Amino acid sequence: MFQVDAHCHIWTLDRGDYGWLDAANPAMAPIARDFTAAELKARLDQRGIARAVVVQAAPTEAETRWLLDQARGADHIAAVVGWVDLTTPDLTERVAALATDPALRGIRPMLQDLAPDWLATQPWAGWATALQDAGLRFDALVRPAHLETLLCVLKANPGLPVVIDHVAKPALGAPPDDSRHELWRGGMARLAGETEACCKLSGILTEMAPSQLAQPRETLFALLDQVLGWFGAERLMWGSDWPVLRLAGSYGGWHALSAEWLAGLSAEARGQITGASAARFYGVTQ
């Protein structure tokens, strides 16, 4: 079975544009070092995963170009999702220049750090058309508060291929009466039912409370069942979110937990989630 890790990262800290990755913060210790394309390949090989989609982790075009450089000659990197300033009026030219590298398959603004209505109010008016004309996809790095705006934007731009990263970061560790739960349930159900958006099964463990991580199956499997019911296997793709994953678990541990849940699905559904959906969305070949 052809497998794809639809979401992972590599970085070199001395590049200096990873502002969110504070090496002085003890909580960041598991990821406060360089992670290379070679180390990623070792993780993939250990789990029989053929190829990976490497996603931006800094809001700079410089990092995007660096990722594209890393992808050259690294057959295990099937695609790069980069960053570009969506607010600039010369966006079409900027996107076209980046897209001359065939490894670039998508663009991701770091919406999780921006206002809930940012995508509807701040980018240059032609941003979605610019991405579509360049043959690029859109990775939506969002939280529950962003889902209403994302729905409106996608309905206004139905031709833009979109994938929701990290299941939109549900507030799994929050109390039951936290308003984010309803924002997430309602927003994700509508996005699944009213748009063609896909969704990545990634970045979930890092949203759990320590008590949930100690016994993750109940929380995790219920969440995955719910998302599968909304989107269907053909619009879901598995990703590791390595090395950010290391803040909550290991590559092997997340892969094994996912495999337990996947074992209850049909062979066709497993194939879609572990490789075919990502390959189709990003244009990844074997």
- Cβ neighbours, 10 Å, residue 215: 9
The C-alpha atoms of residue 42 and residue 37 are separated, in whole angstroms, by 9
Instruction: Spell out the domains of the chain, with CATH numbers in brackets.
Output: 4-282 (3.20.20.140)
Give me the pLDDT at residue 23, please.
86
Residues of the chain scoring pLDDT < 70: none
> Which strands sit side by side in the sheet containing 104-107, from one edge to the other?
4-8, 51-55, 77-82, 104-107, 137-140, 162-164, 198-201, 236-238
**CB contact at 8 A, 245 and 251:** yes
Check whether the bond before 243 is cis (ω within 30° of 0): yes
CA 113, 131, 190 angle in degrees (round to 5)?
60
**Residues contacting residue 209 through CB under 8 Å, at least 6 positions apart:** 172, 173
How is residue 75 annotated by DSSP? T
Please tell me the pTM assigned to this model.
Answer: 0.98
The C-alpha atoms of residue 165 and residue 199 are separated, in whole angstroms, by 6
Give me the pLDDT at residue 154, please.
98
Give me the pLDDT at residue 49, please.
98
**CB contact at 8 A, 139 and 106:** yes
Both structure tokens of 110:
């770091």
| pLDDT 10s digits, 42-91 | 999 999 999 999 999 999 999 999 999 999 989 999 999 999 999 999 99
Give me the pLDDT at residue 1, please.
87
Both structure tokens of 253:
């541990």
